[in-house]
Structure 1
Amino acid sequence: MEGWAGAAAGFAAGLLIAIVTTPVGVSGAVFLLPVQLSVLQVPSPAVTPTNLLFNVVAGPGALLRYARAGQLNGPLTRRLLAGTVPGVAVGATVRVFLLPGATVFKLVAAGVLVPLGVWLCLRTVRPSPPTDAPVRRVALLAFVVGVVGGIYGIGGGSIMGPILVGRGQPVSLVAPAALASTFAASLSGALVYAGLALTTSVSAAPHWTLGLLAGLGGLVGGYVGALVQPRLPENGLRLLLGVTATAVGVLYAAESWPRPT
């Protein structure tokens, strides 16, 4: 899909996805990937830096709303930033040189999202008391998630959010911290991809038009999503996050499954 139709589809996708995902601390880039690969036909691995560009443009909308509500000043935000920012730079390098193919990429994404989504749904049905992991453990986990996020093009916070929520942390605390780390890590990752595009023949540069237009849609949708979050039930948000992560993982697995010739 090209021209005005592709631009309109990118903006609409960014807007609608951000409205749904922002309340649970997900930027929406994780769900923009199927739109890029299946609808807009963006080549791999250019889809990953395009996702990161989307996060950079869309992030300030939700962050502005959370900042006004005083939800960004906390130790959890600092822990996530300390881990995901360097991790996503490592992941970006792995994505370009080791996982350039779309099929392998989808299988990696499915392997992360399906168990994570199922686990979160189970923890929501049978909740456990909140736990506060040591600073080093959270930062180390954030680094590992940042590497995966750099490969996947989601900045890392979109995976870290479900993990923390599954451990019993409230969505109202996790969502702002996860989005802040996603924004910072995505900015770092986008710069790394831009540098790699100058030193390799692989298509590592983002699709600038799509990333910017989808990001503008996400900018508006993210603000709206952050605005309505306090009015949504906690368990409903947890289930929404778990179900959507599982559904996207299953979709990726199905698209990567060998078809009979």
Structure 2
Amino acid sequence: MELLVAVLAGFAVAAVTAPVGISGAVLLLPVQISALGMHGPAVSATNLLYNVVATPLGLSRLVRTARGHGTEMLVAAVAAVPCAVAGAAVRVTWLSDPAHFRALLAVLMLGMGARLLVVRRARAAAPPPPDTRGGTRPRDGRSLLALAAGGAALFGAAVGIGGGSLLSPLLIGAAGWLTARAAVVALTTTLTTSVVGLTAYALFDRIGFGAAPAAPDWSVGLALGAGGALGSLVGIRLSRHLGEQPLRFLLGALITVTGVVYLVGVLH
């Protein structure tokens, strides 16, 4: 029954979140903590395992429909690697305190939800044009992307959400990217962060660094990921009929409500 719940939960959240560049892991944290009774850094590690299984299919589909962003994907992936290791280290030390973890989770979810609810459709999908006077606008843009992806990976690995759920709203709302362009870069960041972060958690558990358990629950993570892989394909197909705005609003509302519930729990 536990694995069936995991499969269904993974499918449901991925169907809503994958089309806007979010793996769905942020909404699976409450499922693990409340419904499945998991605790400690293993919750974050299991969420990253979900991302490793669920993200590649959706990412491959997005790559085929959003060509021309190879450089941006590479920049985001390279920036995510060291930050993912650092994020896992923070989780097994300072964030091993459940109160600290729940408070950070509530703040992140409220911020993400608010951003998704208020952001408007971007006016242009193309990257900024090169500076014909010899400037460095493209390089500056890559530097800012690397900084944003690194920060998203740091928090994403620590909480267990991968980072795309933080990066995608930022790219859409602050940088003015279209959802399709932001989604492929955000999911690339999520997959890189998840692979590296999961490896770090398993290593920390093996050598006894920080709080235990830090290794993922492999059966739950794989079940979540199997459902998520199917859900992401359904969600991407669904988005072609519904459009971006309804899915973005629904996702923003779900994340905001969940964040409010966690914040109320922390305050009480």
Is 1:218 the counterpart of 2:225? The answer is: no
Distance in 2 (alpha carbons) for counterparts of 1:161 and 1:68:
18
Unaligned 5+ segments in structure 2 are: 129-139
| Residue 40 of structure 2: aligned partner | 44
Name 1:105's counterpart in structure 2.
Answer: 101
Corresponding letter in the other structure for 1:237: L
| Amino acid corresponding to residue 143 of structure 2 in structure 1 | R
Amino acid of the residue matched to residue 244 of structure 1?
Answer: L
Instruction: Write out aligned runs for 1:155-170 (5 A).
Output: 155-167=162-174, 168-170=176-178
User: For 1:30-87, what per-residue CA distance to the aligned partner results, in whole angstroms no more than 9, with x for missing partners?
Assistant: 1000000000001222100000000001112212322333547433322321222321
- Give the superposed CA RMSD: 2.0
Aligned to 2:180: 172
Please report how far the alpha carbon of residue 104 of structure 1 lies from its aligned counterpart in structure 2 after TM superposition.
1.4
The equivalent residue for 2:246 is: 236
Deviations 1:11-36 (A, max 9, x none): 11011111111111110111000000
Residue type matched to 2:250 in 1? L
Counterparts of residues 58-207 of structure 1 (less than 5 Å):
58-71=54-67, 73-124=69-120, 134-167=141-174, 168-200=176-208, 202-207=212-217
Rounded to whole Å, the distance in 2 between the matches of 1:85 and 1:245 is 26
Kept in 1: contact 2:20–2:179 (CA 8 A): yes
Deviation at 1:230, TM superposition (A): 2.7
Output the CA distance in 2 between the equivalents of 1:123 and 1:11: 31
Q: How much has 1:240 moved relative to structure 2?
A: 3.0
Partner of 2:248, secondary structure, is: helix
Distance 1:87 1:227 in 2: 32
Would you say how many aligned residue pairs link Structure 1 and Structure 2? Answer: 252
Identical aligned residues as a percent: 37
Report deviation, 1:250: 1.3
Gap runs ≥5 in structure 1: none
Secondary structure class of the residue paired with 1:203: coil
Contact 1:10 1:210 (C-alpha < 8 Å) held by counterparts: yes
Q: 1:119 to 1:135 in 2, by over 3 A?
A: same
Q: Given that residues 156 and 162 in structure 2 are in contact (C-alpha distance below 8 angstroms), is that contact kept between their aligned partners in structure 1?
A: yes
Using the alignment, how far apart are the partners of 1:182 and 1:203 within structure 2?
23
